[in-house]
A = this chain, B = another copy of it.
Amino acid sequence: MDIIAGIAATLLDQLQKPTLAFLIGGMLLASLGSKFEVPEPVYKFIVILLLLKVGLGAGISVREAELSELVLPALLAAGVGIGIVVLGAVTLAKLRGVSQTDGLATAGLFGAVSASTLAAGMAVLDDEGIAYEGFIGALYPFMDVAALVTAIVLARLAMARRTTPVGGGTMALGGGQAPRLDKGLLRGILVDTLRSPAISALLVGLAIGLFADPASVYGSFYEPLFRGLLSVLMLIMGIEAWSRLSELRRVAHAYVAYGLLAPLVHGALGFGAGVIAHHMTGFSEGGIVLLAVMAASSSDISGPPTMRGALPEANPSAYVGTSTGLGTPVAILSIPLWIALAAQVVGGGA
């Protein structure tokens, strides 16, 4: 009971922290019908700065880290991304009213990572004074790309299986069009995903952090602006989440259940992976929290356009509504949960 009380107290305390308060403020604004809005170009720029910041920070840290420390978390991050999509394929995609393609597109977004949610997690940890590996940002693309590629490949294979007449075998890989799908497609999806604005912003930051010496501009500009711009971004996400909710009325109820529960299940997966890394390589308490936050989050920037491009058959109301309307706010609001849990599991007390 003490554990639960401790978690509940931490949760209540956290909801008053500015990062979450701005999210709730944005949802309130939208729910009250406010005409407040942040212009699109400014929103895009804020996201770019956050991604550059996360990338630069990771690049600077990776240079100082031993590569061996990075390998296990990276593999685990990719594994969690793939695991989330496979889990979605055997649950969501089989529920009533959910087409296989729509279900996989949704699972893909939930496996991918939201830069804003990760940034919010970092900000909350900084506030609490909980340390985490500087290279965490470098794990982002591993989970994100793995999930998007898995979802798109599975959806394409399923479509090929449906269109391939008879005798396709249990695995479409042996069937008619499958080999063509595998090679060119995989490469195409990978290239498309890496070229997406969010992943490129992160990677260029990572590269500059690795090969140049941006510590002074990082410390004087990207770091200080980060917290402030994040507060504005949380307002925008809150407004966006609320207005996306209405789209869910038009799709099956299964999406609502998935949007509410999946972030918690996925976060637990990421949390578990973090605990494994903690015992094997001494991965930090804050690192466990951020791996859980990444896993819990669903892509809101690069994911939706990638899906639209790769799976034009999927219904955006379903996957964007579920991820932006429910997945993102649930993931952000559950950040304190992972902090409280990590304190219990690893830190040895609240």
Contacts and interface: CB of A to CB of B under 8 A. Distances in A.
A294 to B, nearest CB: 21
Contacts of A182: none
Interface string A8-35: 0000000011101110011011001111
Contacts of A188: none
Contacts of A207: 25, 28
Interface stretch (A71-79, A135-143, A195-203, A314-322): A195-203
A34 B197 contact: yes
Given A45-B38, A197-B35, A200-B29, A222 B213 contact: no
B235 A228 contact: no
Contacts of A38: 44-45, 48
Contact of A197 (B37, B211, B235): B37
A225 B228 contact: yes
B16 A212 contact: yes
A227 B231 contact: no
A18 B197 contact: no
A224 B220 contact: yes
A214 interface: yes
Contacts of A1: none
B16 A213 contact: yes
A163 interface: no
